[in-house]
Amino acid sequence: ALILKKSCAPGLLVRPINGPAAAPGLASIFPPGLQAIYGECRRLYPDQANPLQVTAIVKYWLGGPDPLDYISMYRNVGCAAQDVQEHWHYISFGLSDLYGDNRVHEFTGQEGPSGFGFELTFRLKREVGETAPPTWPAELMQGLARYVFQSENTFCSGDHISWHSPLDNSESRIQHMLLTEDPQISPVHTPFGLVNFLQIVGVCTEELQAAQQWNGQGILELLRGVHVAGGPWLITDMRRGETMFDIDPHLQERVDQGIETEGSNLSGVSAKCVWDDLSRPSEDEEDSRSICIGSQPRRLSEKDTEQIREALRKGLEFNTKAALPPINSQKQGHDRPQSRKDSLESESSAAIIPHELVRTRQLESVHLKFNQESGTLLPLCLRGRLLHGRHFTYKSINGDTAITFVSTGVEGAFATEEHPYAAHGPWLQVNTHTGSWYTHTILLTEEFVEQMLGDLSELNTREETKLPKEYSWPEKKLKISVLPDSVFDNPLQ
């Protein structure tokens, strides 16, 4: 029988597993992908053949809103020898291909990834006297799964997710997430491909910011060394009231040293941003594809749109990690994706290579506009990326628009010393240095970046900045505005 649990999110049911993990004799009638993951769970929890499981009332492939068919919940006793505390262990089923019949994922063979190539896990500290696992992590995992299905962006270890709300809707300081490999579950080879297991790790705002300024893997390693902040298995404690920097102030020095010596590996973010061409309007209006606040953009043809998306997709295949936008956990459309693509966190080694799909335009003067969250990353972009000879991209979540700051050594950029601002369709590149991007023999000039860092220093504080804020460098013909979210949510008002 299915048992509805009051604390469970609408549309989800809690029930004991009734499958191959509980009844091996019935294994042949269960989908092979599901059976393979159950087998790994059974290996890890041989004494819990019948754990509680959250299941969607209406499956995604039958028109339901929740992409994950099941989330199993296990009681993990921890490991005293490794100083690992007792906790609840959540494991998802649905981001990988469970069925192999194309009802959700396109079957591409056994050698590649199964579905999106991963499932999510989560480890939550078990509170004293708690006899059953809380079910709110199941809805959190469904929200992340919805993002993956709707955007077709995959997750990687080291990624971070800006959530901006307590993960359990309480008053907790744990309001963001990092992702890492699950320390206990091994990758599973199924008949439909390989499945890895990415663990969600709840973190405070200060820890998220440190991951942005340095890198997610470095922060995860520091968290492993602090028992109350995660410990070796990175267990989330929603009652944790102190950051790891409060617990051990010396950790901030390690982060600062990492930023100084390595820079940031955050190469781009999904953001609320637009750019305006402040140069004299072009006589050929058909060539103007910039998206400007306060004016209706020209409607691109379907062919133009597909070309731009392809150029942006390939241009954003960076070799390091990036932030993700806040996830909308409300019910949304759930048509099966027609294709799969890498997220900003792609580990591809491809450099930025602008494709000749639309004409490149050189601009004399530009105005960049960001919301507050995106604006606070400008110092990171300059200090952690450009001063280390790297690039940084803001990709708009409101349309096919992107702004890339490039540095010497970035091959294939179309902004040059003579023309520091260049647009390729709605993709803008900004050259803040004086060297040519087509040669490695000209030294990088840091003067203007240092000047910008000084002028933008107030964005690097944790205090709320009164908006709007405007910064201008007339000699460089560059203007930057940090604006309220409402401007981007209602661009024509």
Residue-wise pLDDT for 135-145, tens only, equals: 999 999 999 99
Mean pLDDT of 469-475: 94
Cα–Cα distances in angstroms (integers) from residue 15 to residues 50, 66, 82, in the given order: 9, 17, 32
Residue 420, pLDDT > 50, answer yes
Q: Under a CB-based contact definition with an 8 Å cutoff, are residues 395 and 271 in contact?
A: yes
Q: Under a CB-based contact definition with an 8 Å cutoff, are residues 367 and 479 in contact?
A: yes
- Reference 325, options 163, 83, 120, 483; nearest CA is 163
Residue 153, pLDDT > 50, answer yes
Cα–Cα distances in angstroms (integers) from residue 291 to residues 47, 84, 179, 296, in the given order: 58, 51, 33, 8
Place of tokens 């959250």: 54
Residue 442, pLDDT > 90, answer no
Least confidently predicted of 1-15, 113-127, 255-269, 363-377: 1-15
Residues 6+ apart with CB under 8 A from 450: none
pLDDT of residue 362: 81
- Reference 160, options 120, 121, 208; nearest CA is 208
Query: With bands split at pLDDT 50, 70 and 90, how would you rate the model's confidence at 47?
Result: very high
Query: With bands split at pLDDT 50, 70 and 90, how would you rate the model's confidence at 8?
Result: very low
Residue 122, pLDDT > 80, answer yes
Reported as a single tens digit per residue, the pLDDT across 170-179 is 999 999 999 9
- Reference 202, options 178, 222, 226; nearest CA is 178
pLDDT of residue 414: 62
> The dihedral of CA 43, 49, 52, 57: what is its sign?
positive
Query: With bands split at pLDDT 50, 70 and 90, how would you rate the model's confidence at 424?
Result: confident
Residue 491, pLDDT > 70, answer no
Packing angle of the helix pair 250-262, 216-224 (nearest 10 deg): 150
Residue 355, pLDDT > 80, answer no
For residues 82 and 85, give the distance between their C-alpha atoms in angstroms, rounded to a whole number.
9
Residue 191, pLDDT > 90, answer yes
DSSP state of 90: E
Q: Under a CB-based contact definition with an 8 Å cutoff, are residues 236 and 230 in contact?
A: yes
Reported as a single tens digit per residue, the pLDDT across 51-103 is 999 999 999 999 999 999 999 999 999 999 999 999 999 999 999 999 999 99
For residue 271 the two structure tokens come to 């953001």
Query: What is the DSSP secondary-structure string of 322-366?
Result: EEEPPP--S----PPPS-----TT----------TTS-EEEES-E
Query: With bands split at pLDDT 50, 70 and 90, how would you rate the model's confidence at 421?
Result: confident
Show the DSSP H helices in 152-276 as ranges: 205-213, 216-224, 244-247, 250-262
Quick one: what percent of the chain has pLDDT higher than 70?
Answer: 70
DSSP state of 8: S
Least confidently predicted of 23-37, 186-200, 208-222: 23-37
Reported as a single tens digit per residue, the pLDDT across 320-334 is 333 344 333 333 333
pLDDT of residue 386: 85
Query: With bands split at pLDDT 50, 70 and 90, how would you rate the model's confidence at 4?
Result: very low
Show the DSSP H helices in 104-183 as ranges: 136-151
Residue 268, pLDDT > 90, answer no
DSSP state of 426: T
When the pLDDT of each residue in the chain is averaged and rounded to a whole number, the result is 78
Quick one: what percent of the chain has pLDDT higher than 90?
Answer: 53
Query: With bands split at pLDDT 50, 70 and 90, how would you rate the model's confidence at 449?
Result: confident
For residue 74 the two structure tokens come to 């296990």
- Judged on CB neighbours under 10 Å (0-12, 13-18, 19+), 341 is middle
pLDDT of residue 329: 35
Place of tokens 């040293």: 257
Distance between start and end Cα atoms, the chain: 53
pLDDT of residue 208: 95
Reported as a single tens digit per residue, the pLDDT across 358-373 is 567 788 888 999 999 8
CA angle at residue 467 from 462 to 471, to 5 degrees? 90
Q: Under a CB-based contact definition with an 8 Å cutoff, are residues 181 and 206 in contact?
A: no
Place of tokens 């000749």: 356
For residues 418 and 407, give the distance between their C-alpha atoms in angstroms, rounded to a whole number.
15
CB atoms within 10 A of CB 490: 9
pLDDT of residue 293: 29
Place of tokens 């002028």: 455
Residue 292, pLDDT > 60, answer no
Residue 408, pLDDT > 70, answer no
Q: What is the pTM for the complete model shown?
A: 0.75
Residue 215, pLDDT > 90, answer yes
Peptide bond into 468 cis (omega under 30): yes
pLDDT of residue 432: 54
Q: Which residue has the higher pLDDT, 293 or 100?
A: 100
Residue 473, pLDDT > 60, answer yes
Residue 93 phi, psi dihedral angles, 5° rounding: -135, 115
pLDDT of residue 351: 35
Residue 259, pLDDT > 60, answer yes
